[in-house]
A = this chain, B = another copy of it.
Amino acid sequence: MKRQISDKVINRLTLYHCILNDYLNKGEEYISSGQISSLLKIDDSQVRKDISLLNNSGKSRVGYIVKELKKSIETNLGFSKNKKAYIVGAGNLGMALAKYDNFANYGLNIVCLFDNDCDKIGKEINNKKILDIKELPRYVWQHYIDIAILTVPASYAQTTANFLVNAGIKYIWNFTPTILDVPDEVQVWNENLMGNFLQFTYDLN
């Protein structure tokens, strides 16, 4: 793994990208590092340093060119490489993620959802079908989908992970508050909401 951009920088760049989207929607042509830094309440020099990593050419005397900078971030972070994923668990969280159109802007294409609830199977959410979980191994195989987004209840997390591993999954984006026991070749990203919250509130009394 030769990673040129650190996790912290990736995180900040996606936040800049959100701001650039807003500016573009508002019809703004230019943006300064000061405008970005004041919205995010971080240091101006940090913003300039991060952007300097991008080989971004769209800089004028009045600031960065919004459209160019946006494209630069997309190229550098690989938004253009389309990635296919499916959601396992069509509960509230699964539904919320399926509806989150913003993912597509970042090259994440959620193809479908899987569930075992007969009342949900066959329905559609945001143009994505909810399929029977029994279909998963065949479907994933046929469509070459490597990423599973796991949003089942915590009590089913490990059993479902085992099922995914048997179906040949390579990457699991785990939204359940469970640490999954999977073989070494399977990569798990724990979306640790509580960890994030505690970082945020650590200084609160």
Asked whether A200 and B178 contact (CB < 8 A) given A192-B11, A192-B14, the answer is: no
Is A24 on the interface with B (CB-CB < 8 A)? no
A193 contact set on B, CB distance < 8 A: 100, 191
Does A92 contact B83, Cβ atoms closer than 8 Å? no
Is A198 on the interface with B (CB-CB < 8 A)? yes
Interface 9-mer from A60-68, A102-110, A114-122, A130-138: A102-110
Does B40 contact A179, Cβ atoms closer than 8 Å? yes
Asked whether A179 and B22 contact (CB < 8 A) given A14-B195, A106-B197, the answer is: yes
Does B83 contact A204, Cβ atoms closer than 8 Å? yes
| Bound Cα distance A36, B202 (Å) | 24
Which residues of A (37-78) have their CB < 8 Å from a CB of B? 39-41, 77-78
Which residues of A (69-105) have their CB < 8 Å from a CB of B? 77-79, 81, 83, 91-93, 95-96, 99-100, 102-103
Does A197 contact B108, Cβ atoms closer than 8 Å? yes
A39 contact set on B, CB distance < 8 A: 179-181
A165 nearest CB across to chain B (Å): 14
Please tell me which one of the listed residues B14, B81, B147, B177 contacts residue A194 in the complex, with CB atoms under 8 A apart. B14
| Bound Cα distance A186, B55 (Å) | 34
A191 contact set on B, CB distance < 8 A: 193, 196
A92 nearest CB across to chain B (Å): 4
Does B173 contact A106, Cβ atoms closer than 8 Å? no
Please tell me which one of the listed residues B10, B40, B95 contacts residue A199 in the complex, with CB atoms under 8 A apart. B10
A204 nearest CB across to chain B (Å): 7
A-B residue pairs in contact (CB < 8 Å), sample of 21? A3-B203, A11-B195, A12-B195, A15-B190, A15-B195, A18-B178, A22-B179, A78-B201, A81-B204, A81-B205, A83-B201, A91-B96, A93-B96, A96-B96, A102-B177, A102-B194, A108-B194, A146-B204, A171-B201, A173-B197, A189-B197
